[in-house]
A and B are shown apart, each in its own frame.
Chain A
Amino acid sequence: MSDLLAAVAQVSALIAALALVHRPLGDYMARVYSSERHLRVERWMYRAVGADPDAEMRWPAYLRGVLAFSLVSVSLLYLLQRVQDKLPLSLGFAPIDPDQAFNTAASFVSNTNWQSYSGETAMSHLTQTAGLAVQNFVSAAVGMAVAIAMVRGFARSRTGELGNFWADLVRGVVRILLPISAVAAVVLVALGAVQNFADIHSVTTLTGDHQRLTGGAVASQEAIKDLGTNGGGFYNANSAHPFENPNGISNLLEIFLLLVIPFSLPRTFGTLVGSVRQGYAIVAAMAGIWLAGVIAVTWLEFAHPGAASQLAGGSMEGKEQRFGEGGSSLFAVSTTMTSTGSVDSFHDSFQGLSGGVLLFGMMIGEIAPGGVGSGLYGMLVMAVVAVFLAGLMVGRTPEYLGKKLGSRQIKLAACFILITPALVLIGTAVAMATGEGESSMTNTGAHGFSEVLYAYTSASNNNGSAFAGFGADTVYHNTALGLCMLLGRFLPMVFVLALAGSLAGQTPVPATAGTLRSDKPLFTGVLVATIVVVAGLTFFPALALGPLAEGLAV
């Protein structure tokens, strides 16, 4: 089988698996978030938390829950890193410096999992499992909770109530993330991923050389890292490390894990608003953009126009032999278009234009299909904008799913879509203007600029992947990127919940002959066009200076 044919077969298998699973999983998630029953273990948890899971919250209360939980999470994770040397399982590692500890805490709580540290030589076993891995679960569950609150905004009427944050948080962890992760982790171990609490130990090789081998609770973290679209690797090489991702099967499993919830949530949305076709219109837009990205990057990597790749006869720099160009391209697009950011190959060494596609995948706001939860609410905000634009064209008051989109709703949606571009562009501009950007570059010229742009794009959109040549571990970048991650995560949530609250309070308007049908292919087309135009207009100048300049210079 030729490499290209194998790549096509691989994408086809992935799509088939997602198509098969999205329906039962999407319906299951809809039941999880609308069930009136509490599991016994959940009741214990609510008692320990002191929360009444049946108390409905209006949007400000829901938001306060999100923010309080996240603030406590950042503080505790910061503290854990600062005192890790005094706790058990420290491996003898020193405490993390304040700026890096802040960066890492912001990173994991915001579901970004940007890493300015190197896992195998910085974080103790305890920090990894009781700190970082916990945030892998709960930050993902927070994202899903906010998405469900948004869906309730569309599904409910004449009430401002969006559900109970604590119940949504606990159910997301207990009923969705934990069971799937546990199964996936065991499968990963069966494929070869490690799972132990061993110390670093030295072996003498056949040539008499010494090699230090590492251990760790890798598989358990790998599973939730992908499933929760987190992306923070146990090791520096992330999912390129053979202990995290041992072969072609584990590679496809990990890609499947990072796509499965984002691609199933539109089904949940459709079920909860009473029309699964509404969900399919959304998922079609997500899938279309994702597939276009996969085709573009796979084609570019196989064509390998870059000078060094031409000389080598393939784009294998920064790629593993067991994945090759096909498996690496599929992983790269899937990780940047979700908010995952784990990598099985290093994007810095991809072809120049491939880097541009990956950047664009993040710049559209990570909504194709996006992070768990954040992808769905981001896409729904874009749907609101698309309906509004279509309404302007025909001169009608826009309405979506029976809810009027008046000036308040459009203002909130506009604020939402302005936040991350502002963080990306201002962050990049300030870093370049102050010289902080240039001093952290590994590459020079257009590619060097791409490294800085990629860093601020990745952080602000809560992706976490990197053009890893970028030297991120400076006080300036740790602080600036940390702020970008927090603001890029929680400011949009403010507007999403406010929007959801305003929608839930409305009385539904009946659909008429003039209503834009949002469950038709035409709407999917309008939606994709809106996304591409909004992101394109915002980011084209910056892209022209980086990956486009590099790609066209070849």
Chain B
Amino acid sequence: MNTSVRNTIRLLWGALRALLVLTVATGVLYPLAVTGIAQAAFHDKANGSKVRAEGREVGSRLIGQKWNIPGTDRPDPKWFQPRPSNSDYDPLATGSSQLGASDERLVKAVRKAREQVAAFNDVPAAKVPADAATGSASAVDPDISPAYADIQIPRVARANHLTQAQVTKLVHEHTEGRDAGFLGEPRVNVLELNLSLRHLAEH
């Protein structure tokens, strides 16, 4: 065997050992250490901010859900409804429509969503906010805009035999401002809002 082949083999062998050493450091020790700290210090968050009701886990506050009439794919008027989702709120198929901002199909989808939301909540289409007519990026967006929550109040109040004032108060309690006052957008977490709504309707 000549020297250049031998040198190449020695080089590759060294490279392989380097990769294995660094794999132990960054691929085993690092994630385990972070997991250990995370599980000890932030147990709930590290495990997905689970939400419990009726003594069982009913979802995650960070993962949006659909709120349809059981057994159908029609939205249930008694719940606050989330944004349109490209995957029907399946966390195993996250992602968006990928349609361009001027695409004909997207224009059609937006028009249809606006009309549906307007009819469902009995408001003019002009009052439907942008987030209600567009699909989110993750397809499991847990939030809606305060404007979208607002137009749902009369319908939700009616379906739950509550007064509009009661539901409005609930929405205000669940409206989060911008994080730290200037980061992100104001929003309402749909799962938490609906949980409180259920509590209110049952008592």
* A410 at interface by CB-CB < 8 Å: no
**A120 to B94, Cβ gap below 8 A?**
yes
Q: Which residues of A sit under 8 angstroms from B114, Cβ to Cβ? A: 311-312
**B95 to A237, Cβ gap below 8 A?**
yes
The residue in B20, B30, B79 that gathers the most chain A C-beta atoms within 10 A of its C-beta is: B30
* B168 at interface by CB-CB < 8 Å: no
Q: Which residues of B sit under 8 angstroms from A121, Cβ to Cβ? A: 92-93
* A314 at interface by CB-CB < 8 Å: yes
> 0/1 per residue, A4-35, Cβ < 8 Å to B?
00100110010000000000000000000000
**A442 to B180, Cβ gap below 8 A?**
no
Docked pose: A304 CA to B130 CA in angstroms: 11
Q: Which residues of B sit under 8 angstroms from A346, Cβ to Cβ? A: 95-96, 98, 137
Q: Which listed residue (A48, A235, A306, A322) contacts B184, Cβ 8 A?
A: A322
Docked pose: A352 CA to B100 CA in angstroms: 7
Known contacts A45-B21, A186-B34; A311/B185 CB under 8 A: no
Q: Which residues of B sit under 8 angstroms from A65, Cβ to Cβ? A: 11, 15
**A349 to B101, Cβ gap below 8 A?**
yes
Q: Which residues of B sit under 8 angstroms from A191, Cβ to Cβ? A: 45
Docked pose: A104 CA to B18 CA in angstroms: 21
**A308 to B58, Cβ gap below 8 A?**
no
Residues from 454 to 472 in A contacting B, C-beta threshold 8 Å: 467-469
* A394 at interface by CB-CB < 8 Å: no
Docked pose: A217 CA to B29 CA in angstroms: 12
Docked pose: A1 CA to B182 CA in angstroms: 8
**B19 to A73, Cβ gap below 8 A?**
yes
**B47 to A209, Cβ gap below 8 A?**
no
Q: Which listed residue (B14, B70, B90) contacts A68, Cβ 8 A?
A: B14
* A489 at interface by CB-CB < 8 Å: no
Shortest beta-carbon distance from B33 to chain A in Å = 7
Shortest beta-carbon distance from B154 to chain A in Å = 21
* B5 at interface by CB-CB < 8 Å: no
* A212 at interface by CB-CB < 8 Å: yes
Chain B, Cβ-Cβ closest to A235: B94
**B181 to A349, Cβ gap below 8 A?**
no
> 0/1 per residue, A245-282, Cβ < 8 Å to B?
01111011000000000000000000000000000000
Residues from 8 to 55 in B contacting A, C-beta threshold 8 Å: 8, 11-23, 25-28, 30-31, 33-35, 37-39, 41-42, 45-49, 53
Q: Which listed residue (A71, A242, A309) contacts B62, Cβ 8 A?
A: A242
* A133 at interface by CB-CB < 8 Å: yes
Chain B, Cβ-Cβ closest to A190: B42
Shortest beta-carbon distance from B178 to chain A in Å = 6
Q: Which listed residue (B11, B19, B194) contacts A64, Cβ 8 A?
A: B11
Known contacts A209-B68, A308-B106; A214/B129 CB under 8 A: no
**A443 to B99, Cβ gap below 8 A?**
yes
Q: Which listed residue (B25, B30, B97, B142) contacts A242, Cβ 8 A?
A: B142
Shortest beta-carbon distance from B26 to chain A in Å = 4
**B65 to A205, Cβ gap below 8 A?**
yes
**A311 to B111, Cβ gap below 8 A?**
yes
Please tell me which stretch of A193-201, A368-376, A377-385, A422-430 contacts chain B, meaning at least 4 of its Cβ atoms lie within 8 angstroms of it: A193-201
Docked pose: A198 CA to B39 CA in angstroms: 12
> 0/1 per residue, A347-362, Cβ < 8 Å to B?
0111110010000000
Residues from 156 to 202 in A contacting B, C-beta threshold 8 Å: 166, 169-170, 173-174, 177-178, 181-182, 185-186, 189-198, 200
**A195 to B106, Cβ gap below 8 A?**
no
Docked pose: A8 CA to B154 CA in angstroms: 35
* B134 at interface by CB-CB < 8 Å: yes
**B137 to A240, Cβ gap below 8 A?**
yes
* B160 at interface by CB-CB < 8 Å: no
Known contacts A72-B12, A352-B101; A196/B39 CB under 8 A: yes
* A345 at interface by CB-CB < 8 Å: yes
Q: Which residues of A sit under 8 angstroms from B99, Cβ to Cβ? A: 308, 317, 348-349, 442-443, 469
Known contacts A323-B184, A344-B137, A554-B102; A51/B18 CB under 8 A: yes
**A214 to B92, Cβ gap below 8 A?**
yes
**A349 to B34, Cβ gap below 8 A?**
no
**A306 to B27, Cβ gap below 8 A?**
no
**A249 to B183, Cβ gap below 8 A?**
yes
Shortest beta-carbon distance from A92 to chain B in Å = 13
**A240 to B138, Cβ gap below 8 A?**
yes
Q: Which residues of B sit under 8 angstroms from A251, Cβ to Cβ? A: 183-184
Shortest beta-carbon distance from B177 to chain A in Å = 9
Residues from 129 to 178 in B contacting A, C-beta threshold 8 Å: 129-131, 133-145, 178
**A190 to B138, Cβ gap below 8 A?**
no
**B101 to A247, Cβ gap below 8 A?**
no
* A512 at interface by CB-CB < 8 Å: no
Known contacts A51-B18, A317-B96; A190/B45 CB under 8 A: yes
Q: Which residues of B sit under 8 angstroms from A355, Cβ to Cβ? A: 100
* B118 at interface by CB-CB < 8 Å: no
Q: Which listed residue (A249, A307, A328) contacts B180, Cβ 8 A?
A: A249
Known contacts A6-B178, A195-B34; A68/B15 CB under 8 A: yes
* A315 at interface by CB-CB < 8 Å: yes
Shortest beta-carbon distance from A50 to chain B in Å = 5
Docked pose: A326 CA to B65 CA in angstroms: 25
Known contacts A50-B17, A68-B14, A317-B96; A241/B101 CB under 8 A: no
Shortest beta-carbon distance from B131 to chain A in Å = 5
Q: Which residues of A sit under 8 angstroms from B11, Cβ to Cβ? A: 64-65, 68
> 0/1 per residue, A493-512, Cβ < 8 Å to B?
00000000000000000000
Q: Which listed residue (B23, B39, B93, B180) contacts A195, Cβ 8 A?
A: B39
Docked pose: A241 CA to B48 CA in angstroms: 12
Q: Which listed residue (B35, B62, B76, B137) contacts A220, Cβ 8 A?
A: B35
Q: Which residues of A sit under 8 angstroms from B20, Cβ to Cβ? A: 48
**B178 to A134, Cβ gap below 8 A?**
no
Shortest beta-carbon distance from A336 to chain B in Å = 16
**B134 to A317, Cβ gap below 8 A?**
yes
Docked pose: A442 CA to B91 CA in angstroms: 22
Docked pose: A554 CA to B39 CA in angstroms: 51
Taking A134-B19, A240-B136, A241-B94 as given, write out 19 further A-B residue pairs in contact, using a Cβ cutoff of 8 Å, ordered by the A residue number.
Answer: A50-B17, A121-B93, A177-B26, A178-B30, A182-B30, A186-B34, A194-B45, A204-B56, A241-B138, A242-B63, A309-B101, A318-B135, A318-B137, A321-B141, A327-B184, A343-B137, A352-B102, A355-B100, A468-B95
10 closest residue pairs by CB, A with B: A248-B184, A306-B101, A314-B130, A469-B98, A248-B183, A240-B137, A237-B94, A248-B179, A324-B185, A242-B62
A sample of 27 cross-chain residue pairs with beta-carbon separation below 8 angstroms, ordered by A number, consists of A6-B185, A50-B13, A50-B17, A72-B19, A133-B26, A133-B31, A134-B22, A138-B26, A181-B30, A189-B38, A189-B45, A237-B94, A243-B48, A249-B183, A306-B100, A309-B101, A314-B130, A317-B134, A317-B135, A318-B135, A320-B143, A321-B141, A321-B187, A323-B184, A328-B137, A345-B137, A350-B101
